Amino acid sequence: MTVRPLVILPDTRLRLISEPVGAVTDEIRKLAADMLETMYDAPGVGLAAIQIGVPRRVVTIDTSKDENAREPRVFLDPEIVWSSEEKRVYDEGCLSIPEYYAEVERPDRVRVRYRDLTGATQEIDADGLLSTCIQHEIDHLNGVLFIDHLSKLKRDRVNKKFAKAAKRGEAA
């Protein structure tokens, strides 16, 4: 497993729409293992492949609180097939937008269909942090960032801050 460099805003790759996985190969399993290693190293609770520069529909998540009791999950080609009408606000952050957090409203519960690392189709009902996290990561697969859920004013401020930092060659 390898820790890979993160793609940071304003990198335009974050706006790419990721391609379906296709066959589950050793290359895809290695990608998922590297993503988990990168996510834990950051540290974060979720990572989409595009965040390490790979435009494939792969997501890794671990919302466990205890480093000694990790619960890594890998979602290939995930799609939300149902979401609740009830909403929930959560203070979100993103490894590709370091040190920036904002409240985002999303459906409280979702049902997600995906394939696992064996290629088998699975469904999971998620609520709480897992629901927020999987919605956030699926957004990444579609070129959407959590700041896109904010007001135009807030979004413009974040984009400007990270663009200036990138010009200076430093973190925002």
* Residues acting as catalytic residues: 137
94 is in an annotated binding site: yes
60-97 in b/e burial notation, b at 16+ Cβ within 10 A? bbbbeeeeeeeeebbbbbbebeebeeeebebebebbbb
Q: How far apart are CA 129 and CA 143, in angstroms?
A: 21
Q: Pick from 6, 11, 92: which is nearest to 49 by CA?
A: 6
**Pick from 90, 7, 93: which is nearest to 48 by CA?**
7
Q: Report the first-to-last Cα separation within the chain, whole angstroms.
A: 28
Was 133 annotated as part of a binding site? no
| Element (DSSP H or E) covering residue 164 | helix 152-168
How many angstroms separate the CA atoms of 111 and 119, rounded?
19
Pick out the residues of the known binding site for Fe cation: 94, 136, 140
Pick out the residues of the known binding site: 94, 136, 140
